Structure formats: structure tokens, C-alpha cells
């Protein structure tokens, strides 16, 4: 089972409580895209070895967070 990001958790929690009717969904989509990029960049960085190729970070993101 895929893990849930913080933005996904917030979106789901607000949806369950009925708040999404009042909040614009486009901002959540933008936040999700920003969070995904941050996770990919973090997965590509190794302080002692240098940066890994971006595809490694994307592979990590897809493995952990894609359902």
C-alpha cells in the first residue's frame, strides 16, 4: 500500500469534514506538485556521494507514494 503525503492527508481530512466545498481544489493540486518535486529532489541528494540522477528520485516517489 502506498504511503500518503502530508498534502494528500490534509486534502482527505478536509474532504471528510466537508470543507472542500469552500476551498479551491486547484491550490491543493499545486501544493501536491510542489511537494512531489521536493520529495524527488530530496531522494536524489546524498550528502556524501553527491546527487543521483533525477530518474532515481522519480522512481523512489512512484514506489513509495503512487497507488
Report pLDDT digits (tens) over 13-31: 988 988 877 777 888 899 9
Would you say residue 35 lies in a domain? Answer: yes
Grid coordinates standing for 64?
513509495
Q: Are 55 and 63 spatial neighbours (Cβ–Cβ below 8 Å)?
A: no
Q: Can you name the residues that pair with 51 across neighbouring β-strands?
A: 45
- Residue by residue, pLDDT tens for the chain (67 residues) are 689 999 999 989 988 988 877 777 888 899 999 999 999 888 887 766 667 788 888 888 989 998 6
Total domains in the chain come to: 1
Domain containing residue 48: 6-65
In angstroms, the Cα distances linking 34 to 5, 27, 38, 60 are: 12, 11, 6, 16
CA distance 42 to 57: 8
**Is residue 1 domain-resident?**
no
Amino acid at each position: 500500500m502506498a504511503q500518503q503525503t502530508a498534502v494528500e492527508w490534509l486534502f482527505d481530512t478536509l474532504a471528510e469534514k466537508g470543507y472542500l466545498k469552500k476551498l479551491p481544489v486547484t491550490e491543493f493540486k499545486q501544493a501536491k506538485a510542489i511537494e512531489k518535486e521536493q520529495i524527488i529532489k530530496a531522494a536524489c541528494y546524498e550528502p556524501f556521494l553527491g546527487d543521483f540522477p533525477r530518474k532515481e528520485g522519480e522512481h523512489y516517489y512512484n514506489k513509495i507514494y503512487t497507488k
